[in-house]
Amino acid sequence: MSMVSTDLKIEQKYTSLFAEQKGKLNLWVSDVISSQREKAIQSFEAMGIPNKRVENYKYTNMRPVFEEDYGYDFEHAIFNQDLSEVFNCNVHDLEATTIYLINGWYYRKNQVPSHLPQGVIIGSLAECSKSHTELFKTHYNQYAKNEEDSLVALNTAFAQDGFFIYIPKGVIIEQPIQIVNIMDGKEDLMAFPRNLVVIEENAQAKILLCEHTITDKKYLLSGVTEAYVAENAVFDMYNIQNQHNLSTNISSLFVSQKAHSSVLTHHLTLHTGITRNNIHIHMDDEHCEAYVYGLFISDKNQHVDNFSFIDHAQPNCYSEELFKGVLDDSATGAFAGKIMVRPDAQKTNAFQRNDNLLLSDTAKMNTKPMLEIYADDVKCSHGATVGQLDNKAMFYLRSRGIGQDEARMLLMYAFAYEAVEKIRVEAVREKIKELVEQVFRGELDKCNSCVLCGQSEAPGYTCM
């Protein structure tokens, strides 16, 4: 009974906070967003914070994370520092349109280039919900599954800001749109950013979401991104996660695809405390293509859990999924991926693979690839591997005069390369190759929190 009582207190902490701060939550947003809150908090309360008894969270108990006491920026505290003085994103020097979020809030000093094609919108979710109400009525909270995941419902209840991107019909944005989300605070902090992307017919866009921490406080980042990809549209979403050991990042992506659309998602976790990625792809029309990729590199006591659900609801669609993990020390990881082929989804082609490399005897990986097929004219496969470095390959490299550390790094890089090569944007792919090699060489992790620019005395953040 005492365990149940303790469990109830966690939910009550957040429902009470919601009741106390509801006025502030609705201060910045339109009714389209605020009207969704009550139903969402009820869904959250009914389901509760997931523990390992919840099948989709079998390998990641979220309750201890939410038991922590965090501060929350309800009133959009002004960030007066020049970001260029305190922060340097690892993925820099790209030819990209770059905007910043601070603790989930759209940075007031963002400068969106004026040369973007007419009709393109890149801005604050809160502000755009008021200036583009009809778009938000059509798309906001239409794809996220509040009734299936309590943490998504909690985001819907607390969401105040994030980014909104709209690409009108026929517009092709060649350069990536880089979103840099920074967690920074003088105390432990949580944030619930909410993002919405709408790619209209025959349009194309590539988004690079980089998530970082500056100071050495405990952070809980629980974000939700919804994306609508219309007929013949092309959408790439790259999520690079590089946060210190005290961070928890829960990232949920929901994509709705229309006919002949092509979607690529890629989640790259370079450093974390706890990371949980949820990827939901819904093929709502014929001839959709979805490419779902991921790579994580973890050591110490880090934990990375990737969950995916690819829903083949219509015929003649194609999906390809590959997730890879490299685990060292006492790191733990998990992969659970389900491909759902519904009765009408004849002529489906769906392929899923999860490969993992354990570099120590104490690292642990759980993997659960799943196929659920209700159509008979399909081609589907799934599989998973967990193994160690190939001793024969190591011996071969050593016999050619390559040192042990260098040989080990080369084998790790060769293992990860297949996932990195899936990135469709050449400039991003080359940057990620450099970052992955830096991680394997130990050059990116100078200490537990200095993962931003590798400078031990950089202003604006503190070594642990």
pLDDT at site 182: 92
3-state secondary structure of 89: coil
Residue 282 · residue 255 · CB < 8 Å: yes
Rg (CA), the chain: 21
pLDDT at site 458: 31
453-462: pLDDT as tens digits: 433 333 332 2
Residue 103 · residue 184 · CB < 8 Å: yes
Closest by Cα among 341, 267, 345 to 310: 341
- Phi and psi torsions of 113, nearest 5°: -55, 145
DSSP H/E element including 260: none
3-state secondary structure of 259: coil
Positions in the chain short of pLDDT 70: 1-8, 77-93, 444-464
pLDDT at site 215: 84
pLDDT at site 447: 39
* Region at 447 (left for phi over 0; alpha for psi -120 to 50; beta for the rest): beta
pLDDT at site 87: 60
Q: Can you read off the two tokens belonging to residue 155?
A: 């985001």
> In the chain, how many H helices and how many E strands?
11, 21
Residue 332 · residue 358 · CB < 8 Å: no
pLDDT at site 455: 37
Residue 167 · residue 251 · CB < 8 Å: no
3-state secondary structure of 27: coil
pLDDT at site 109: 87
